[in-house]
Structures are given as C-alpha cells and as structure tokens.
Chains A and B, each alone.
Chain A
Amino acid sequence: MTTVNPVAKLAAALLLAICLVLTIDWVSATVALALEFVVFAFIRMKARVFWLRTLPVWIAAPLTGVTIALYGQTDGAIYFEFALARVSDGSITLAIATVLRVLAIGLPAVVLFVSIDPTDLADGLAQRAKLPARFVLGALAGMRLVPLFMEDWRSLELARRARGVADTGRIRRIAGQAFALFVLSIRRGSALATAMEARGFGAPAQRTWARESPWGSREWLVMAAGLSIGLVAIAAAVLSGRWNFIVGP
C-alpha cells in the first residue's frame, strides 16, 4: 500500500467521494461501506492505527446526522417539534443516509491518506499531475517546517509559563501564541526562500528530478477500484429506486 503513487490514492479517494456525494440515500452509502470494509480487510491495516486515525470520522458522522435529523426536510409523521427543529420520518431517513455517507467518504480517505508521505505526494503532483513545480515544491518546503512549528509552539508555551502569563485566559493565550507562531514561521519562510533562491530554486532552467515518481498498472488499478466502488454504489441506489440526487427536490 505504501508503494502506490500518492497521486493515485488521492485520485481514487476523490473519484469515490464524487460518486457518493451525488446522491443522498442509505442504499448507496451502505453498499459502498460494505465494499470498503472488504478492501480494508485485504490491506491489513493495524487495528489500533485504523481506529485511532478514523476516530474523528466516527465522532463527526453522528453529529452531522443529529443536525440533519433536526433540520432536514420534513416528511411523513412528525415526532418532535421545537422552534425550527422538526424530527420527522423524512428527516430521520435523511439523517441515517447522511451518517452512512460521511463514513463511506471519510473512512477510505483516512485509510488511503495515512500512508501518504508529503515528499512522495509533491513528487507525484509535479511529475505526474504536471502541477507547476515551483508551487508544489514551495508547498512541500512549507510542509517540512511543520515539526519546527510544533517545536516553536512548545517553546512559546514554555516562555509564557516562565513569565507567569500562561495560567489564566486560555483562549487569549492560544490566540496570542498562534500569532507569534505566524510571525516566527514567516520569518523562517523568508530566510528559507533566500536559501532556496541561492541554490537556484526558481531559476528558468529545465528542472530534473532527484526522485522519480513511479506510475504503472498498480496506480490505475487503485483508481479503478475507487471508481468502481462508487459506480456499484450508484447502480445499487438506482436499481433499488432509492437514488436521490442532491440538487433539486
């Protein structure tokens, strides 16, 4: 799984997601989820890693569902009503479909993205997706500063603690620290830009690549898998008569 080109993983996740957002019904989402779990079983991800990384999705899905259950389109019997909130047969059906859909889109994305290395992704985006290299590599340079940002954040925290200003006003402190982090990161970025320019980055010459970004049948296969799960889900929804296009009534 780690050897598949990240661009293919991104494309596969995107193809699947685009298929699934076209309709809001429980059939397509359930079919997609079932197929995804078959794939998850095959790639043998560690259970601990899987649950830990997908935890935000498991938390967010029911919360979205509650919103839709309360404020979704009213249809059939009404069970509960307060101000604008109205829980009905229709909104509950929509809510179930929404929860399943968030899971069906979010889970494979997390699984596919967990193993993406930003450097490989940048190589793929520039060499395979043919995005402008200066921008892709600039973004990669920024991304590689993240560990430094984390360190800066801890230093800022310690500095505030040492000055005795860290104990009250948590929100204010976080805002102030975030601003300081932006100042530090822009200073670092300006210095980094000078260093990169000194080494010829952005020069109008033909760029060559230190790392080849591989692309073969495996990449096409991953993309085909993503697309076909999406298409099977759509087909199931249409055949069962549950297809419910997102635009329009």
Chain B
Amino acid sequence: MTTTLTTPPATTTPSRFRWRVVDIVVASVIGVASGLVFVAWNVASNPVTDPLAALLPGLQALGGGFWLFAGVLTAIVVRKPGAALYGEMVAATVSALIGNQWGPLTLVSGAVQGLGAELVFAIFLYTNWRVGVAILAGVGAGLGMAVTDLTLWYPGSDTPFVMVYTISAMVGGALIAGLLSWLAMRGLARTGALHRFAAGREIAKRV
C-alpha cells in the first residue's frame, strides 16, 4: 500500500533575499553586541571627542562613527535586504533600554542612520559587498546622523558648524563605520566564525 502526501514537500530553492533563521539570529547578536559598544561609547564619547570640538566645532562628529558601524557590519556579514536597518535598530534599542541621554529619540536616530546605510546597499541591488560599497554605506549612515543630530540636538547652529559637523560625520562614518566594519568582517571571516555565510565562504576559498 502506498501513502500519498497531501502536499508535496517544499523543494523551492530559497531566495537569495529571504532571511534564514541563522541570518536573523546572527544579525540580532551582532546588533546586541554593537549596542553594548554604543553604551560604552555613550559614556566615553564626550571626554574623547570634546578636545576635537575645541579644535574645530563640529569635529566631534568624527567619533560618531562608533554609533554607525552596527548597520554596516550587520549588512556585510548577513547580506540580506534590510540588514543594515535591522542591525542599527537592534543596537539603538539596546542603547536606549540601558538608558542614555537621548531617550526614545535614540530609536529615531538609529532608524535614520540605518536607512542611510541601507539605501547605499539597495542602490547596488544587494549584490556588491566590497570595501568601496561598505565605505559608501558608512558615509550614508554618517549623513543620516548629521541630519538627525543637527535637527534634534543642535538646532539653531551657525552655518559653519553645520558644514563641519556634516562633513565630519560623513568622514567618521566612512572610516569607522565603513572601513573598520569591513576589516572587522574580514577578521571575523578569518576566524571561521562566519562559516554559515557567504562572507565567510569567500575568505575560505582563498585559503
């Protein structure tokens, strides 16, 4: 006697854009770990970047990159649409829940910064994850940070301050959120921790 299945087993090849469970969990873990770095930077940023601000007002935005890397790092590791936004939002939520001076607006900042990076990856149709795109995504996140910070926290600033702040945010985003995240991703891949991701297999091939 033969039994027939009422529904055939799903044999569809998973879409490149669909999030697997491991993508979600690892993106979350990276987001949470980045959120802890945010919390440390929330406290450390003022004493570290205030001398920069004394040098040239607005230059403190250079250090803002340490609040921007979560989105870029998550995106270049899991390589799915929405990863940059998700990673940055999870990190911002951790930062807000532990408690900081920006309150719920941390979430607004996280969303705009995440979107800034996300848009860059989207422009490249989620197919290019090279260092140049990572740096551009960092710049996008930096631009997002400049927009939110200048409207929410430094309204009524002079034009020179606005210019310096915006450019510093983009440079900080490019170097810290873009380049440093990419180097970190490569380092993570070298350790073998990313063996379930395209990011990790890419490196493994070269060994």
Q: Could you list which residues of chain A lie within 8 angstroms of chain B, going by C-beta atoms?
A: 10, 13-14, 17, 21, 24, 53-54, 56-57, 59-61, 63-64, 67-68, 70-74, 84-85, 94, 98, 102, 105-106, 108-110, 113-114, 116, 118, 121, 134-135, 138-139, 141-143, 145-146, 149, 178-179, 181-183, 185-190, 192-194, 196-197, 201-202, 244, 246-247
Contacts and interface: CB of A to CB of B under 8 A. Distances in A.
Contacts, number: 185
A61 B24 contact: no
A145 B25 CA distance: 11
A146 B193 contact: no
Identify whether the interface residues of B are mostly helix, strand, loop, or mixed.
helix
12 contacts: A64-B101, A105-B105, A113-B103, A121-B97, A142-B25, A183-B191, A189-B22, A189-B29, A190-B22, A190-B193, A190-B195, A201-B21
A189 B157 contact: no
Interface string B4-48: 000000000000000111101111111111001100001100100
A190 B193 CA distance: 8
A108 B96 CA distance: 12
Specify which of B46, B58, B101, B188 lies most central, judged by the most chain A CB atoms within 10 Å of its CB.
B101
A208 B25 CA distance: 20
Contacts of B158: 71-74, 84
B99 A145 contact: no
Given A84-B56, A190-B196, A202-B24, 18 more contacts: A17-B105, A60-B101, A108-B103, A113-B96, A134-B19, A134-B21, A135-B19, A135-B28, A142-B32, A146-B32, A186-B194, A188-B29, A189-B28, A192-B29, A193-B26, A196-B25, A197-B21, A247-B151
B36 A149 contact: yes
Interface residues of B, number: 58
Interface string B122-137: 0000000000000000
A113 B33 contact: no
A186 B188 contact: yes
B187 A179 contact: yes
Nearest to B23: A193
Contacts of A114: 99
A106 B25 CA distance: 30
Contact of A186 (B102, B104, B193): B193
Contacts of A116: 97
B43 A17 contact: no
